[in-house]
Each structure stands twice: as structure tokens, then as C-alpha cells.
Amino acid sequence: MKQYDMIVIGAGRASNLARNAGKAGKKVAIIEKDRFGGTCPNKGCVPSKLLIGYAEVARNIQEASRHFIDATINHIDVQKIFEETNAHIEKVDPAYRAKFNENVTIYKGEASFVSNYVVEVNGEQLTAPKIVIATGTRPVAPPHERAWTSDDIFPLKGTPPKSITIVGGGFIACELANFFDAVGVETKLLVRNQRILGNEDEEIASIFKEEFTKHVDVDFDTHIKNIAHDGKIFTLALERKNGEEGEHKSEALLYAIGRVPNTDTLKLENTDIQITKRGFIARDENFQTAVEGIYVVGDASGEHMLQHAAAMEVNHLQKVLLLGKQEPYTFKYMPHAVFTHPEVASVGLTEQKAKEQGVEYIAVSKGWLASAKAQSLRIKYPRTKILIDPNTYAILGFHLIGPHAATMMHQVLSIMHLDNDIRHLKEMLYIHPALSEALLPAAVKAVSAVNLNK
Ligand SMILES: Cc1cc2nc3c(=O)[nH]c(=O)nc-3n(C[C@H](O)[C@H](O)[C@H](O)COP(=O)(O)OP(=O)(O)OC[C@H]3O[C@@H](n4cnc5c(N)ncnc54)[C@H](O)[C@@H]3O)c2cc1C
């Protein structure tokens, strides 16, 4: 049996840990069954955001008339867009493998546990006192063998479809539907109920719904009853909540209905590692599982399912394992964004969650139009929604919808990172009239609301 100081299972974000452990002189084994780099650079955040870049340019041209500009798109080379994206993806795996020094042994294959500290890969057994599980998630399998998930378009095999039906109402479904629609692929999004981006604050989700559906054809309250494929085209039998039935045809069918953990591949039943009801791996504040020395980071824990969360966890675990730091790690806040048209960014509690949890809060909401830069965009919907603790001025939730919402959110995150007091956002000096200034009226309103309440 081969003996290592550390075994890392899953070469997504945790490949950085393997690299740095190798640099620190540890003998490391890293096991990956697919492409090194994991979901984010190969089939997640990065390629999906590369696509959004093309979509944004197309949307600007499509919406140019509101600036009194008569513009039409002559042609969008969707094939070229995918070739460029595929070319980016091709570089990821070799770039990640090249990061490791001679102390790191690469195993290409599926790892599973033989016992607590013994892992098997390609028929070989390895052991280490420290094992890091970072096996991420995979898309819920679609109900038809010819249907795609996001994994099947990164990289896209074959030619881009002329029409696509996408199933789902979450961020992956919306981002992909926006891309395909923007670049001229006939797109339909099917959502089971009336909720789209249903985890966002209701006020923001309702603005999103109104704006998003101006471009993308969305059938709400609809599910697919039957799928037929004749070798070229899908024929979908649709059923609506009110009992109405319909039919829709498209070249491609893509499901984005959620993700499941890869923990079922690990034979955890051979260990004392505990899993949660949803099949993710249970852990403590140091990311340690029920077995001493075995850790879990990233999506495999099911806690945040975001790349920046996985990155922070890997950084912390690195300090625990390489520097002996034993402080438990808890996130002060966890932001996210939806890179669609319109863009959404959010951190903390939504108003519905605050109510559900019985949290004391003051909510304020304000448009962006006091800002000249926001006015220059010639759109009315951008909005800031803030939930504040009436006793401490702490930001409990901050939600944005509008161009560059994710970028704008960082001024809020800086404050939350330091001492989380909304008054800083009111009192700081802004560059006039940068778009960031559009958040100022909401901050002023929030501080006044708290003062009035005292
Ligand atoms: C389309 C899409 C868009 C996204 N966009 C964003 C975004 O904009 N922002 C954001 O923050 N997050 C986004 N995410 C989520 C983000 O990609 C994940 O949160 C992140 O990749 C998690 O990293 P990880 O290292 O935990 O897991 P992963 O990157 O999934 O890595 C896990 C690795 O483990 C391997 N593996 C699994 N089981 C085994 C086994 N038994 N043996 C060996 N190897 C195994 C897998 O092959 C995989 O390579 C997106 C995800 C998708 C799908």
C-alpha cells in the first residue's frame, strides 16, 4: 500500500491545497476522475460567464433603440463562440496539472474508501493520516438520454442548436437561457411554478421576472409530460398547472434542475464518515468529518455551493493542515450573483427569510435613478433593497438588480467585512457620478429609517 502525508480526492478548488502541500514538502496524492480544475473552470462559472460576455454585447445592440440608435445584428457566429469557449476549456486541465511539483502524485481515476484511512483508485490502495474530500456535485440526470445538462455544453460537442428548451428556474437555467436567447438561438424556458430565481428576495425576483421575460420566452406553471426524439428534433408534450396541454419542438433540450453530491461514488459505508439527509458530507467548523484527520471542503459539504466559498474553505484548511492553525472558520457573509440580463447580486437575508426566522429588521428599497450614470442607462428597473438591524445598523441583507450589480455589491461587502455598519455606506465619499453612487440614496434612506425608529 502506498503511504502519503495527504490524499486529496477531487481536483477542483482543492487542487490548490495539493499544490501548496507539495510545495511545503508533503508527500501528496491527488485523485481526479475527470478534468483537473473541477467544475468552475471546466464546466461552471468560467465558461458560463465567458458566454455571458457575448450575450451582453448582443443585448446592448438589441436594446440600442432606447438610446435612439437604430442598430441591427447581421449575424452572430454561435459556432465560433463555442469554439472559443471550448478552446479555453481545453487549456484548463493541463494548466492545473502543471501546478504540482514532484512531491504530488497524480492519479486519474475514481477514488473510493476501503476503510477510514485507505483509499482505492484504479485497483491501487493508498493511505494517509490526512484525507481531504472535495468531490463536488454533478447535475441531476435528465430524463432523456439525448437531453443535455450544463456538463454537455462545456465543451459543446457538435454544432450549436438552432432552438433549445431549457428546464429550470434557478441561476444556471436563467444564465444559459439568457445566453442562448441573446445570441439568436430560439429559446424557451420551462418553469414548474410561478417562481423564477425563487431564492432571491421577492421584490427583486419580481422585478427580475418582469424584465427577463421581456426577452426570454418563459412558460410558467409548466412541466414536460413526455419527451420524443426523432434523431434530430425533440417533441415535448407539455402540461400546465391548469390542466392545459401543449406541444413544443426544439433541437436541443437542456435540464438545469439542480445538482447532487458525488459522495455516492466514495463508498463511505466503509468508513465512519457521516452524511447529511441530502447525501452531503457532515463536518464541523474546521471542516473535519466524523473521522479525525478526514476533511471535506467545497460543494461536497452542500453548504454554499459557490466557488468563492470553496476557495475560502480550501485556504482555511490549508492553514489548519500546513500551519497548524486550529481556529474554527465561519463565514461572516456569503454573497452570490446571477449573471443574467438583468444582473442580480445578493448577500444575507431576504425579507421572506427574515420574517420566517423572526429576525427584527427594517427594510428599505430604492431605485437607482438619482444617479446620472444610472440615468444614462435609460432603464428604470434597477433597485436596491436593504434589510437593517434596527438596533445596531448592521446590514442583514442587501439585494441589487441592475447592470453591474455583482460589481457594485463589493462596496457593501467591504463594509460587511470590516465592521458591518450601514452608516459607512452613507458617509463614505463617492466618485460623482459613478454608478456605485446609485446605492447612496438607499443607504441614506436605511440610516434615516433606523434613526427614526430609535
Ligand atoms: C453552470 C455552472 C455555473 C456556475 N457559476 C458559478 C458562479 O458564477 N459563481 C460561483 O461562485 N459558483 C458557480 N458555480 C458553482 C461552482 O462551480 C462550484 O461551487 C465549485 O466548482 C465547487 O468547487 P469544488 O472544488 O467543491 O467542486 P468541483 O469543482 O465540482 O470539483 C470536484 C471534483 O471532484 C471530482 N470527483 C468527484 N468524485 C470523485 C471521485 N470519487 N474520485 C475522484 N474524483 C472525483 C470531480 O470530477 C470534480 O472534478 C457554477 C456551477 C455550474 C455548474
What is the tens place of the pLDDT at every residue in 434-450?
999 999 999 999 999 99
Q: How far apart are CA 423 and CA 415, in angstroms?
A: 9
Say what percent of the chain tops pLDDT 90: 97
- Average pLDDT on 90-107 reads 98
For residue 400, is pLDDT > 90? yes
**pLDDT the model gives residue 411:** 97
- pTM check: above 0.85: yes
**Distance from Cα 11 to the centre of ligand 1, integer Å:** 9
For residue 321, is pLDDT > 90? yes
Residue 150 alpha carbon, nearest atom of ligand 1: 1
How far are the Cα atoms of 19, 46, 187 from residue 34, in angstroms, in the given order? 18, 17, 30
DSSP string across 71-96? -------HHHHHHHHHHHHHHHHHHH
- Average pLDDT on 374-385 reads 97
For residue 110, is pLDDT > 90? yes
- Average pLDDT on 70-80 reads 98
12 ligand 1 Cβ < 6 A: yes
Count CA atoms within 13 Å of residue 337 on its CB side: 23
47 ligand 1 Cβ < 6 A: no
For residue 454, is pLDDT > 90? no
- Average pLDDT on 305-329 reads 94
Grid coordinates 437604430 are at which residue? 70
For residue 327, is pLDDT > 90? no
| Residue nearest atom 2 in ligand 1 by C-alpha distance | 44
**Segment among 227-231, 264-268, 324-328 with least mean pLDDT:** 324-328
How much is the mean pLDDT over the chain?
97
DSSP string across 179-243? HHHHTT-EEEEE-SSS-SSTTS-HHHHHHHHHHHHHHSEEE-SEEEEEEEE-SS-EEEEEEETTS
Q: Which three cell numbers stand for residue 108?
A: 486519474
Domains of the chain, with CATH numbers?
2-139+260-323 (3.50.50.60), 150-257 (3.50.50.60), 343-453 (3.30.390.30)
Residue 45 alpha carbon, nearest atom of ligand 1: 5
**Distance from Cα 83 to the centre of ligand 1, integer Å:** 22
